Amino acid sequence: MQYFSARIRLGGLVHNEVPKHNLSAAEVVLLRREHGADAIVGIEMTGGHYLADFVEVERLRAIYGENKVEALFGPPDMPRAIPQFLHGFEEGAEPVESKPKVGRPRKKTEKVEQTESEPELANVLD
């Protein structure tokens, strides 16, 4: 299952964004249904690992309530498959942390040695 970081626009409102981390693919689908398809913005994949469907469904039920989860994924006694991946994020895609940093390199600074003629800061403060 893939995991993401994103900003949730509560009720779809641009001025009411909440950052959320460690969202599963199934949780993103549930939040899109709750707040609107375009209410989840700035989605970045942060990782992924195997998690059994029933474990994730129980986690979502504890957070969002039984009714919302069952309305989307079905009752607990019915076999179901929940989303493991989001459209646009391939199964083998790299998480955000493992991507190389982009930007200009920092300037190298030379280490300046203290000479005997310059008093140490500690001696000046004494």
More confident residue, 77 or 24: 24
How far is Cα 4 from Cα 87, in angstroms, rounded to an integer? 13
- Per-residue pLDDT band for 48 (boundaries 50, 70, 90) equals confident
What pLDDT shows up at residue 8? 92
User: Based on the structure, what is the number of domains in the chain?
Assistant: 1
Cut 0.85: pTM above it? no
- Per-residue pLDDT band for 29 (boundaries 50, 70, 90) equals very high
Instruction: Look at residue 60 and tell me if it is in a domain.
Output: yes
More confident residue, 4 or 114: 4
DSSP state of 116: T
Query: Torsions phi, psi of 68, nearest 5?
Result: -65, -40
Structural domain range at position 12: 2-87
Type of residue numbered 93: A
Show the tokens assigned to 73: 């994924």
Show the tokens assigned to 43: 């989605």
What pLDDT shows up at residue 12? 76
